[in-house]
Amino acid sequence: MKNKKAQLHMTETIAVIFIFFILVVFGMIFYAQYQKVAFKEKQEEILSTRAVQTTLRALYLSELICSQGEAEPEDNCIDLIKAEAVQAIFQKYLSNYYFHLFGYGRLTLHEVYPQEKELVLYEKRRVENLANESTFMMVSLRDDRLSVGTEPSYAYGYLLVEVYS
């Protein structure tokens, strides 16, 4: 009788521990799921921050800005002659320099007026891009080759900055 009672207690204890571990496993699964979602959200947040950083960097890049001699450079303006050269330079020094500036992403200059043109300034893709974030910035495009006298010639367009995770 005593033995049976002890066995019953033993089974009870094992059952309690079993249920306890089941609950722990449930908790861990729930926590892992939560972490997965939180990680994804964090990734998205980092990607958005990177998109803003890359856009800012691109807009103020010495390689692209419209300089005016000793005066302050023009705001939101891209020098088209420099932009043409930049394509090759970014590619040439991509891995050891410009990748540190823009990371995985793509910078495309779109002219919308007077003509419609597209110029890919920078591009670095992963084998598989998981997500991307795009930012647009309206810019004026100065082409000194088309200047009339000292008056510069401008086109209008936008800079599309895409960053890949």
What is the rounded CA–CA span in Å between residue 105 and residue 66? Answer: 23
Return the number of the residue (72 or 128) whose C-beta is nearest other proteins: 72
Tell me the sheet residues that pair with 143.
Answer: 153
Return the number of the residue (115 or 150) whose C-beta is nearest other proteins: 150
Return the number of the residue (59 or 158) whose C-beta is nearest other proteins: 59
CB under 8 Å to 124, separation ≥6 — which residues? Answer: 94, 99, 102, 103, 104, 105, 106
For residues 133-143, b (16+ Cβ closer than 10 Å) or e, as one string? bebeeebebbb
Return the number of the residue (101 or 135) whose C-beta is nearest other proteins: 101
Return the number of the residue (60 or 156) whose C-beta is nearest other proteins: 60
Minimum distance of other proteins from residue 108's CB (angstroms): 18
Residue in 78, 72, 73 with CA at minimum distance from that of residue 137:
78
In residues, how long is the chain?
A: 165
Q: Residue 81: is it exposed, middle or buried by C-beta count within 10 angstroms (0-12/13-18/19+)?
A: exposed
Minimum distance of other proteins from residue 24's CB (angstroms): 8
Write out the residues near other proteins by the rule CB under 8 A: 2, 6, 9-10, 13, 17, 20, 46, 49, 53, 56-57, 59-60, 62-63, 65, 67, 69-70, 73, 79, 81-82, 84-86, 89, 93, 97, 100-101, 144-145, 147, 149-150, 152
Minimum distance of other proteins from residue 31's CB (angstroms): 10
Minimum distance of other proteins from residue 82's CB (angstroms): 5
